[in-house]
Amino acid sequence: MGQEFMKAYFDHYNDTQLMRLIKNDNELALQILFDRYYDSLLEISFHFLTNVALAEEVVADIFIRIWEKRYNINVENLKGYLYTAAKNLSINKLDKEKYSFHSSKNIDTPYSTDPERDIQFDEMFQQIDYLISQMPGQRQLVFRLNKIDGLAYKEIAKLLEISVETVQKHMSLAVKYMALYKDQIYGMAHYLTTFMATSSLLLIFLKNLLSH
């Protein structure tokens, strides 16, 4: 009962007051802060990761870091600090995680009974993912958000807090880079589509991925 009373009391505290309590090792204040910003931070992280489980990990990491560094954190705008942390940690996680092309696009895997061809299909997407991962960090993210997640340039610019012109420049350079490997990727794709139920869908996806 005492903890519930304190939680109801602390709910009225502003962010600065809660941070003062956290600096004094008050775990209840951290829980209140977590509850206060959980939904909005999860939404921000999900915009980048498009994966609820990974976004939840990011939000949890934010508050773990706040607790671990509570004696040294000095911020005037806690909300801005949290939102920036959600964006940066999500981008870092996106760089580290293997992006699943199969989950991002409804492309069926080969229905052949030949495990060798199934392996070749997976290897093609792994190679595409590898090529994308070789781009500079922000360019890679811009490319994924546009080509795989389908976000418009204006949406990407808003999420990353950059200009639309910067997004356009990243996309132009990214497409030119991917075009260097177009023949190689199409060569693999045309071979594999002989054994796929959705060959036309695969080729449409690759055409969109490799062109302006």
Per-residue pLDDT of 11-42, as tens digits, reads: 789 999 999 999 999 999 999 999 999 988 88
**Distance separating alpha carbons of residues 204 and 199, to the nearest angstrom:** 9
Q: What would the pLDDT profile of 41-55 be if each residue is shown by its tens digit?
A: 888 888 778 888 899
Contact (CB, 8 A) for 170 and 143 = yes
CA dihedral over 62, 64, 68, 71, signed as positive or negative: positive
User: In Å, how far from its chain's centre is CA 84?
Assistant: 14
Given this model, what pLDDT does residue 184 score?
A: 76
Per-range mean pLDDT, top range of 58-62, 116-120, 152-156: 58-62
Of 151, 149, 179, the closest CA to residue 164 belongs to 151
- The rounded mean pLDDT for the chain is 78
- DSSP label of 198: T
Q: In the block, which residue shows the tokens 């990990």?
A: 57
Query: Any idea which of 19-28, 116-125, 151-160 has the lowest mean pLDDT?
Result: 116-125
pLDDT in tens, 163-177: 999 999 999 999 999
Read off the tokens for 47.
């915009």
Q: Are 195 and 110 in contact (CB under 8 A)?
A: yes
pLDDT digits 0-9 by tens, 83-114: 888 888 988 887 666 444 444 444 444 444 45
Instruction: Report the pLDDT value the prediction gives residue 96, as an integer from 0 to 100.
Output: 67
> Dihedral, CA atoms, 55, 136, 159, 60, nearest 10 degrees?
20
Q: What pLDDT score does 157 carry?
A: 87
